[in-house]
Amino acid sequence: MTKPKSEPNFIAPAGMSGELEDFIAFLDLERGLAKNTLIAYRKDLTQFADFIRREGRKGDWRSVEAEDVAEWLRELDDEGLSAKSAARKLTALRAFSKRLVIAGLRPDDFCEVIARPKIARKLPDSLSVEEVTKILELPVGCSPQGLRNRAMLELAYGSGLRVSELCTLDIQSVNFEEGLVRVRGKGNKERIVPVGDEAIHALKNYLSEAGRPLLAKPKTGSALFISQWGRAISRKTFWVVLQEEVRRAGIKRKIHPHQLRHAFATHLLANGADLRSIQEMLGHADISTTQIYTAVEKTRLSDEHRRTHPRARLD
């Protein structure tokens, strides 16, 4: 007799599992969903709960915001997940969010304003070299926050780090002599990424007596980028910092932190870097995920040709 397969063990972080398991039980008892569907729902919701934990939240569904869902979907897209699969995960999260409201565990539905991923995958929305230059050449003054912000932005763009990776770096992660940073990425995989001279210079300024030491508190650990309270910087704080710098640079369009990573890849490709090297620096498990940037570059070249060649368009 064939032994039945056991159910995969998808466990949400402590503090978030109770509501999740209650929801799965509701789907089972009240909706009568199939076992495989229940397994898929638990897996998808646990994955989102783990994302929230990695972002430094306290493990409470009441703290989740719409921007968290949007960032999670961007992360899934960066990993190469299809829009169809992402839409399925969002369906599970939508149902769960609505259930939390009905149960009185939240006053609002954190998925209400989130659009369903388009099945046709969009090209990454990058930043031009001119836009990045405007942001990174703004005067920062001599405040510890200003020095920290410049170092964060230089490193994010200069090494193509995910925001979650940037926020979890410690001081020992950076090898100043070799110009390298040790990054802990997806699936706890470690990779080594080059750090440019501008980022090294900004980091040294930040780590000088005028920078990080003035932000540190008695219980501050080894986190590289810290807040004014002496704790490791959060993804949300980085988002706020970027928005302020974009505003100061006079850039009118909306910019997401992940666009710095896209800019890193597209600018490398435009200047002759090979795809395998970019894949390694980005930490992509599959080269097909990195190949999307070749389409971005082809689109850019076509736009430039149409804009500048006298016989490219019929007027």
Q: How far, in Å, CA of 41 to CA of 119, rounded?
A: 20
Q: Tell me the mean pLDDT in the region 73-84.
A: 85
If DSSP codes are grouped into helix, strand and coil, which group holds residue 184? strand
* Residues near 113 by beta carbon (within 8 Å), at least 6 away in sequence: 66
Q: Tell me the mean pLDDT in the region 112-141.
A: 81
**CA–CA distance from 150 to each of 57, 198, 279 (Å)?**
25, 10, 26
Q: What pLDDT does residue 213 have?
A: 95
State the angle between helix axes of 258-270 and 292-308 in degrees (0 to 180), rounded to the nearest 10. Answer: 70
State the angle between helix axes of 258-270 and 275-282 in degrees (0 to 180), rounded to the nearest 10. Answer: 160
* Residues near 137 by beta carbon (within 8 Å), at least 6 away in sequence: none
Average pLDDT, the chain: 85
Task: Tell me the per-residue pLDDT of 27-70, one tens digit each, with 9 for 90 and over.
Answer: 988 888 888 889 999 999 999 988 888 876 666 788 888 889 99
Residue whose pair of structure tokens reads 């992402």 in the numeric block: 86
Closest CA to 234 of 311, 148, 137, 164: 164
Query: Cβ–Cβ contacts within 10 Å for residue 75, how many?
Result: 18
Percentage with pLDDT > 90 across the chain: 47
Backbone φ and ψ of 192, nearest 5°: -110, 130
Q: Minimum mean pLDDT among 9-23, 145-159, 204-218, 277-291: which range?
A: 9-23
Q: Tabulate helix, strand, coil % of the chain (nearest 5).
A: 55, 5, 40
Helical (H) or strand (E) element with 180: strand 180-184
Q: How far, in Å, CA of 49 to CA of 72, rounded?
A: 10
Provide the token pair at 2.
């064939």
Catalytic residue numbers read 162, 186, 258, 261, 284, 293
Q: How far, in Å, CA of 230 to CA of 214, rounded?
A: 9
Q: What pLDDT does residue 254 have?
A: 86
Task: Tell me the per-residue pLDDT of 281-313, one tens digit each, with 9 for 90 and over.
Answer: 998 888 877 877 776 666 655 665 566 555 456
Edge-to-edge, what's the strand order for the sheet holding 190-194?
174-175, 180-184, 190-194
Q: What pLDDT does residue 200 have?
A: 95
If DSSP codes are grouped into helix, strand and coil, which group holds residue 193? strand
Write down all domains in the chain, each with its CATH number in brackets. Answer: 17-102 (1.10.150), 129-308 (1.10.443.10)
Q: Tell me the mean pLDDT in the region 93-108.
A: 91
Query: Cβ–Cβ contacts within 10 Å for residue 196, how many?
Result: 14
Residue whose pair of structure tokens reads 């994955």 in the numeric block: 47
- On the question of pLDDT at 161 being above 70, the answer is yes
Provide the token pair at 53.
């934990």
Percentage with pLDDT > 70 across the chain: 85
Query: Cβ–Cβ contacts within 10 Å for residue 130, how many?
Result: 9
